[in-house]
Amino acid sequence: MTDPLPQPALPESIAARFAGLDVSAFRGQTRVVVPAAEAHGLLAALRAEGFDLLVDVTCVDYLEYRGATRRYGLVYLLASTGGGQRLTVRVFLDDPQPAIPTVVDVWPGAEWLEREVWDMFGIRFEGHPDLRRLLMPEAFTAHPLRKDYPLQGRGERHNFPVLTRDEG
Amino acid sequence: MALELPENVVVSRLDELANWCRKNSLWPMPFATACCGIELMATGASKHDLARFGAEVFRFSPRQCDLMIVAGRVVMKMLPVLQRIWLQMHEPKWCISMGACASTGGVFDTYAVVQGIDRFIPVDMYVPGCPPRPEQLIQAIIDLQDKIQAEGTITGREFGTRQRQARKRALVEALGPTGVDAARNPVVQRDLRLALQDSPSRPSAASPPR
Whether A160 and B187 lie within 8 Å, measured CB to CB:
yes
Check CB contact under 8 Å for A159 and B93: no
Q: Name every chain B residue with its beta carbon within 8 A of the beta carbon of A168.
A: 86-87, 89, 91, 93, 122, 156
Contact between A18 and A34 (Cβ < 8 Å): yes
Beta strands of B20-140 (E only): which ranges?
28-32, 67-71, 94-98, 125-127
What backbone torsions phi and psi does residue B198 show, to the nearest 5 degrees? -85, -10
Rounded distance between C-alpha atoms, residue A20 and residue B161, angstroms: 69
Average pLDDT across chain A, whole number: 86
Q: Burial of B65 by CB count in 10 Å (0-12 exposed, 13-18 middle, 19+ buried)?
A: buried
Residue B46 to residue B41: CA distance in whole angstroms: 10
Percent of chain A at pLDDT above 90?
46
Residue B208 has pLDDT above 50, yes or no: no
Q: Which residues contact B153 (CB under 8 A, 6 or more apart)?
A: B15, B19, B92
Give the contacts of A119 (CB within 8 A, at least 6 positions apart).
Answer: A133, A134, A135, A136, A143
Chain B contact for A164, CB < 8 A? yes
Per the CB < 8 Å rule, is A165 touching B178? Answer: no
In tens, the pLDDT along B108-167 reads 999 999 999 988 899 999 999 999 999 999 999 999 999 888 875 555 554 555 555 565
A139: nearest CB among B91, B159, B185: B185
Lowest mean pLDDT among B12-21, B25-34, B191-200: B191-200
CA distance A36 to chain B (A): 30
Kindly tell me if the per-residue pLDDT of B168 is higher than 90: no
**A-B Cβ pairs (cutoff 8 Å, strict):** 117
Would you tell me which CATH number, out of the four given (3.20.20.70, 3.40.50.300, 3.40.50.12280, 3.90.1640.10), belongs to the domain B14-173? 3.40.50.12280
User: Can you give the residue ranges of every domain in chain B?
Assistant: 14-173
Quote the minimal CA–CA distance from B101 to chain A in Å: 14
* B83 or A6: which leads in pLDDT: B83
B20 has pLDDT over 70: yes
Report the C-alpha gap between B63 and B91 in whole angstroms: 10
Please state, in angstroms and rounded to a whole number, the distance separating the CA atoms of residues B31 and B50: 17
- CA end-to-end span of chain A, whole Å? 69
Summarised one tens digit per residue, pLDDT across range B60-114 is 999 999 999 999 999 989 999 999 999 898 878 899 999 999 999 889 999 999 9
**Does residue B78 contact residue B102 with C-beta atoms inside 8 Å?**
no
Instruction: Give A162's contacts in chain B (Cβ within 8 Å).
Output: 119-120, 165, 168-169, 172, 191
Candidates B77, B111, B163: best to mutate against A (most CBs of A within 10 A) is: B111
pLDDT score for B162: 56
**Three-class SS of residue B69?**
strand
What CATH class is the domain A12-167? Answer: alpha beta
What does the pLDDT look like over A69-103, one tens digit per residue? 899 999 999 998 988 888 999 999 998 889 999 99
Asked whether B86 and B120 are in contact (CB, 8 A), the reply is: no
Amino acid, res. B181: D
Q: Chain A partners of B182 at a C-beta cutoff of 8 Å?
A: 159
B111/A144 CB distance under 8 A: yes
What's the mean pLDDT in B183-205? 55
**DSSP assignment letter at B25:** S
User: Do residue B178 and residue A155 have CB atoms under 8 angstroms apart?
Assistant: yes
Cβ neighbours for A61, distance < 8 A, ≥ 6 positions apart = A71, A72, A121, A145, A146, A147
Q: Do the bridges between strand A86-93 and strand A72-79 make them parallel or antiparallel, or are there none, so unpaired?
A: antiparallel
The interface predicted TM-score of the complex, written ipTM, equals 0.77
